[in-house]
Structure formats: C-alpha cells, structure tokens
Amino acid sequence: MLQESDELLFWVEECLVQEIRIVPGWLVARLTVVLRQAHPELPGRLGRERRPEQVMEIIYDAQSALMEQACRSRGPGEVIPLFARARERMLREATATL
C-alpha cells in the first residue's frame, strides 16, 4: 500500500504542476481504497475535497499510518550473536571454575 500511495502522490503532484485545480475522479477512486487501508477515518476526511494541496496532506497522513502498520507488523528482528564461540567458551570457563 505504501508503494500505491507514493504513486498516487505523484499523480496529485502532477495535478499541481499541470495547474489542474481538481483531482480527477479516477484518481480519487484509487485514493479512497488506499485511505481506507491506512485508517478508517481518512476517507471521511477526504469527503468531497478535490483540491490537490489538501488531498496531498491527506495522503501524507495515510502514508504515516501505513508506515506505522508496516513497522508493527514486522515485530522485532532475530538477534544474531556475533561472537557465539567466544561466549560459549566464556560460559564453559565460568562453569568450570565453580
């Protein structure tokens, strides 16, 4: 979804560059799907808003929510011991002296 939101942001920015005052309907339909995935309240914020500047702000909020979701879904990474043999040797030596 993050990749899709980046693509949509590109098209909204293109509306600004081309001085198009209203985001086209085909773009709004795709945007609504991404917004709904990001957060259930975001499509409501879009409402009837079609000005590129305001739509961009909503996309930024959606991207923020999507990034949070991506971070939470991954969870912590696996810890790889860098010096496993040295640690094992230290543990053996420590238990041998007891």
Question: Whole-model pTM?
Answer: 0.70
| Alpha-carbon 29 to chain mean position | 20
Helix (H) or strand (E) holding 55: helix 52-74
Give the Cα separation of 28 and 73 in Å (integer). Answer: 27
Better pLDDT: 78 or 60: 60
How much is the pLDDT for 28?
92
The pLDDT assigned to 98 comes to 63
pLDDT digits (tens, 9 = 90+) for 4-18: 989 999 999 999 999
Q: Which two tokens stand for residue 62?
A: 């959606």
Instruction: Supply the Cα-derived Rg of the chain in whole angstroms.
Output: 24
